Amino acid sequence: MLAERDSEESTEDFMQVSLSAQGEKRWARLEIAFQPLHPNGTLGRYQTSKLKLLLFCAPIAFFTFRWFLTMVLKNLDPSHAVPRRVREALDILSE
């Protein structure tokens, strides 16, 4: 909760709006406090939730892809890469 302010002036961080019907005295006051979207400083604009999510997911995705590629290359059978007829023809030519 924000503490009620006594001054009627609005600033860049705080705004007050008086609520009343036409011609009647003020019956309420709306107080709005503003907070910056990003922290101050040079790195403030880079401290967003999207960037934090990217920095969290990127290493996981990298190592997962590396593991997947390692498993595929380990299980790759080079004997099926060249058709049987071509291998037989190359064997005959080499003899």
Taking CA atoms, 68 is separated from 27, 40, 64, 73, in Å, by 67, 41, 6, 9
* Within a domain: 6: no
Q: Do 73 and 80 touch, CB atoms closer than 8 A?
A: no
* Within a domain: 92: no
In total, how many domains does the chain have?
1
* Within a domain: 87: no
Please give the Cα distance from 81 to 87 (Å, whole number): 10
- Kindly tell me the sign of the dihedral angle through the C-alpha atoms of 37, 12, 40, 35: negative
Q: How confident is the model at residue 2 (pLDDT cuts 50, 70, 90)?
A: very low
Domain that holds residue 35: 14-74
Q: Do 28 and 21 touch, CB atoms closer than 8 A?
A: no
* Within a domain: 44: yes
pLDDT in tens, 33-90: 888 777 777 777 777 788 889 999 999 999 999 999 999 988 887 767 778 888 888 8
Residue 5 has pLDDT above 60, yes or no: no
Look at residue 42 in the predicted model and tell me its pLDDT: 74
Identify the three-state secondary structure at position 30: strand
